[in-house]
Amino acid sequence: MILPAYLAVLVTTATVAMGKTPEGFKPATNADLIVDYSGIPALNGAVVSRSPTGNEPRIGTASRLNGSSYAVMMIDIDIPTNSPPQTNTLIHWLQTGLTQATTATTLNTTSGPVRVFLMENRANTTAITPYFGPNPPARIPLSHRYTQILVDTTSITTQAIEIIRTAANTTRIGFNAEIVLSQANLAGRVVAGNFYNVTNPGPVQSVATNTSTTITSGVATNTAAFEPGTSTGRPATAIIATGSTFKEDKPFKNLSSTDETKKALHECAHSIKSANSNGGGGRRPQWSQVKLAGELGQEYSSVGK
Ligand SMILES: *[C@@H]1O[C@H](CO)[C@@H](O)[C@H](O)[C@H]1NC(C)=O
Ligand SMILES: *[C@@H]1O[C@H](CO)[C@@H](O)[C@H](O)[C@H]1NC(C)=O
Ligand SMILES: *[C@@H]1O[C@H](CO)[C@@H](O)[C@H](O)[C@H]1NC(C)=O
Ligand SMILES: *[C@@H]1O[C@H](CO)[C@@H](O)[C@H](O)[C@H]1NC(C)=O
Ligand SMILES: *[C@@H]1O[C@H](CO)[C@@H](O)[C@H](O)[C@H]1NC(C)=O
Ligand SMILES: *[C@@H]1O[C@H](CO)[C@@H](O)[C@H](O)[C@H]1NC(C)=O
Ligand SMILES: *[C@@H]1O[C@H](CO)[C@@H](O)[C@H](O)[C@H]1NC(C)=O
């Protein structure tokens, strides 16, 4: 195929400033993962506005990889703590079962066209952590680095997938990719990486102690925001709804009115509590806590994401 000259120049330029993991992040890689939110490239530490990042990005590499299965992890490595400037990590997306397209796709990005072999979830593998977008709170640090790594999981055992799943479910905050990959026997299998920043406009606010029970959000319909522990695992907290900060985030579905939402929430809380008291055996979910919006507001705002 013959490209118009200007297009060839753009393609060349666009392939220069790509991914790589941030300094200090492990496992590190210099191979570029291309990350694109509906035409907005989110590459190489650039500050990206939050608005396009709410839905899963398209990711891929400029050259075709030779593996038959891949996983992507996206980790916020700048979660505020109660002892700033200390930070923590939070897993935002963990999808296994990806394969790479055999032909390249031209993404028409705001920095010109980029040719990418996209990673695809053709088998519709359920995400271990379904994607949820950046939403840094007005705390230190205001700017967060969202780091993506692509892992070659060719010939991965189901046991290794379980190790990753358990780690992501039980240690969402404090998720340590290096340790998890090593436990899953995948050390050295990171084939591409990237990061970008999303910045809260500030000013920095002290941790909220707002316990208003105004429900502006909805019911968590997504299991990732709603995961029971098991009799063998650590008990989990049921996250039912939040106040304003989660309003536009994926795990929460808006219902038609506040009344309807409140009703649904209370029914939901009730059914979870009954499930607990029903006894049950073996692997029945054990909810250690059932909380409503206002109670959670404080905890979440103290975590940030
Ligand atoms: C796949 O590519 C990597 C990196 O170029 C190389 O190290 C590896 O040997 C290749 N594997 C196969 C099965 O060709
Ligand atoms: C990119 O733009 C070209 C030319 O306008 C078009 O043919 C192509 O379908 C576009 N690709 C995508 C992925 O939107
Ligand atoms: C995956 O989901 C898409 C869209 O729902 C569907 O068209 C496709 O057949 C599914 N593929 C498999 C392997 O189940
Ligand atoms: C991205 O965030 C990190 C962590 O807060 C910060 O050190 C860095 O300066 C930010 N980068 C940009 C370009 O704002
Ligand atoms: C982890 O989450 C998935 C769904 O996202 C669920 O099927 C699984 O049971 C959870 N595992 C643990 C150990 O909590
Ligand atoms: C607490 O949150 C509610 C609902 O978001 C808001 O209307 C109210 O102003 C907040 N109060 C304080 C003291 O921040
Ligand atoms: C959610 O529902 C409320 C109340 O009906 C409405 O005002 C708001 O615009 C809705 N938000 C979205 C994102 O649909």
- DSSP for 219-253? EE--GGGS--B-SSS--EEEE---SGGGTTSTTEE
Per-residue pLDDT at 283 exceeds 60: no
Q: Structure tokens of 7? A: 């297009």
Distance from the first to the final alpha carbon of the chain = 44
Each domain of the chain, given as residue ranges in start order, spans 18-204, 225-303
At 51-93, the pLDDT tens digits run 999 999 999 999 999 999 999 999 999 999 999 899 999 999 9
Q: Structure tokens of 274? A: 């009954």
At 188-233, the pLDDT tens digits run 999 999 999 999 999 998 765 544 333 333 333 332 222 222 222 2
Pocket test for ligand 6, best of 210, 217, 295, 301 (most atoms within 8 A of CB): 210
What radius of gyration do the chain's Cα atoms show? Answer: 20
Per-residue pLDDT at 135 exceeds 50: yes
Q: What is the pLDDT of residue 19?
A: 59
18-204 sits in which CATH class? Answer: alpha beta
Residue 201 exposed, middle or buried by CB count within 10 Å (0-12, 13-18, 19+): exposed
Q: Looking at ligand 7, which atom is closest to the CA of residue 247? A: 13
Q: What is the pLDDT of residue 18?
A: 52
Output phi, psi for 140, to 5 deg.
-85, 125
3-state secondary structure of 277: helix
Pocket test for ligand 3, best of 95, 121, 124 (most atoms within 8 A of CB): 124
Ligand in closest contact with the CA of 126: 5
Q: In angstroms, rounded to a whole number, what is the distance separating the alpha carbons of residues 279 and 251? A: 28
Instruction: Decide whether any atom of ligand 4 lies within 6 Å of the 197 Cβ.
Output: yes
- Is cis: bond before 228, omega within 30 of 0? no
Q: How confident is the model at residue 263 (pLDDT cuts 50, 70, 90)?
A: low
Q: What is the pLDDT of residue 304?
A: 60
The stretches of 15-105 forming alpha helices (DSSP H) are: none
Instruction: Tally Cβ neighbours within 10 Å of residue 1.
Output: 2
Beta strands in the chain (DSSP E): 34-37, 40-41, 58-61, 70-80, 87-100, 105-109, 112-120, 143-152, 190-199, 218-220, 236-239, 252-254, 287-291
Ligand in closest contact with the CA of 105: 2
Name 175's Cβ contacts closer than 8 Å, sequence gap at least 6. 75, 89, 90, 91, 167, 168
Instruction: Decide whether any atom of ligand 6 lies within 6 Å of the 297 Cβ.
Output: no
Instruction: Decide whether any atom of ligand 4 lies within 6 Å of the 76 Cβ.
Output: no
Q: Looking at ligand 2, which atom is closest to the CA of residue 39? A: 14
Instruction: Decide whether any atom of ligand 6 lies within 6 Å of the 213 Cβ.
Output: no
What is the pTM for the complete model shown?
0.66
Selection from 5-9, 203-207, 239-243, 265-269 with the highest mean pLDDT: 203-207
